[in-house]
Structure 1
Amino acid sequence: MNLDFSFLADHWQSYASAAWITLQLSFFGVLLGTILGIGFALMRLSGIWVVRFLATAYIELVRGTPMLVQIFIIHYGLTQFGLDFAPFQSGIIALTINSAAYMAEVFRAGIMAIDKGQTEAARSLGLSKGMAMRYIVLPQAFRNMLPAIGNEFIIIIKDSSLVSVIGIAEIMYTARTLQGNLFLPLEPLLVAAGVYFILTFTLSKLLGALERKLRNQ
């Protein structure tokens, strides 16, 4: 079997553009997912049972349903209620909602791992509960959770391939388009796999370097 990658001479820019779109989707998905995740984690730790129940229901519902179904519901299903999002917007919303559910559990575990004595000491110094959480607990929890956050970023980069079904020209969409246009069943997919690997491998190395730097401070 002879593989023919000569098409890259004319189409490498398509993969470069697709990789940039993938990075944008993943970045905003993880960033917004982290912000929402912190909120849901605090709700899970709330003493008010209704708040705790709503956060738990959201997390279990999102984690218990496939992201592909969520993408279709957001992009196609919500039009029934007058919510008509552009494909890129739908992709970010789907990735954000999914990431938030997983990040909530990451942050909840990270917060619970911090010794309660630190919060009590902060309260004894006059800090409110919110200030103690913001200035004492969350910074330490974030440092401990950095590997998990980085892992979620890598997962989102790979899962972003699912948004190709709604027409976003990310890596997988580009590979499938070239498959049909060039009548090459394998080569465009191999290139796509290589691009995903380069993105995730580079990110894992950068996060590893950041983690070592924070550990040595």
Structure 2
Amino acid sequence: MNMDWQFIIKSLPLYEKATWLTLKLAFISILLSLLIGLLCSVVMYFKIKIIKTITQGYIELSRNTPLLIQLYFLYYGFTKLGIKMSESTCAIIGLSFLGGSYMAEAFRSGIEAVNKSQIESGLSIGLSKVQLARYVIIPQAFSVSLPSLGANCIFLLKETSIVGAIALIDLMNVAKDLIGMYYKTFESLSMLVVAYLIILLPISIFLSWLERRVRYAEFGN
């Protein structure tokens, strides 16, 4: 099969613009997901009444409903309530809503891995719950849960391919439009694969390096 290089060169600006949009959505969503996940895991660990029940309900709802349905609900359903949001805002909220639950579970597993004796020692020297979480639990939990957190970041980056369903011109949407207009299926999909590799491969390598650098009980080695 002959590759139409002229078509590829002509289409590159569209993929470049879509790549930056994908990175923007993923970066903001990952940061918000980490924050949501950390807060949820702390609430679950300290068993804060009422809030814990709400948090459990959120995690179950988020993890057991497809992102596409969540996006449709935000973009189309909320308009019936008089709430109108832009496509980018809906995408960020949807990705953060989904990612937060997965990050919460990753943090929870890390928190549960912290040795109970260290927590008891912290309490015995008079640390408050906030200080205990900040100086003892969270730093160790982060290093333990780092592989899961990294996998969730990659997962959210891949899930950005869904946002085209609400009229955002992301990478997937660009490829579909080009195939529909020019019937250049092989070239369009090849550029799509390359674009995601350019985004995901460096991040994957960085996360692997970070996991080796940050290991539980191996600081300073």
State the aligned residue count.
217
C-alpha displacement of 1:46: 3.5
Unpaired runs of 5+ in structure 1?
Answer: none
Unpaired runs of 5+ in structure 2?
Answer: none
Alignment TM-score, normalising by the size of structure 1: 0.94
Alignment TM-score, normalising by the size of structure 2: 0.92
Separation in 1, partners of 2:81, 2:101: 24
Paired position in structure 2 for 1:68: 68
Separation in 2, partners of 1:145, 1:96: 18
* 1:179 paired to 2:196: no
C-alpha displacement of 1:92: 0.3
C-alpha displacement of 1:112: 0.6
Separation in 2, partners of 1:162, 1:12: 21
Which SS does the other structure have where 1:141 is aligned? Answer: helix
Paired position in structure 1 for 2:151: 151
8 Å contact kept, 2:8–2:187: no
8 Å contact kept, 1:119–1:133: no
* The 10-residue stretch of structure 1 (11-20 or 182-191) with the greater mean CA deviation from structure 2: 182-191
Map 1:188-199 to 2 at 5 A. Answer: 188-199=188-199
* 1:205 paired to 2:205: yes
C-alpha displacement of 1:48: 4.2
* The 10-residue stretch of structure 1 (5-14 or 105-114) with the greater mean CA deviation from structure 2: 5-14
CA RMSD, 1 decimal: 1.5
Task: Give the % identical residues.
Answer: 35
Separation in 1, partners of 2:178, 2:114: 50
C-alpha displacement of 1:49: 4.6
Which deviations, in whole Å up to 9, do the C-alpha atoms of 1:112-139 show, x marking residues without a partner? 1101111111122221011111111101
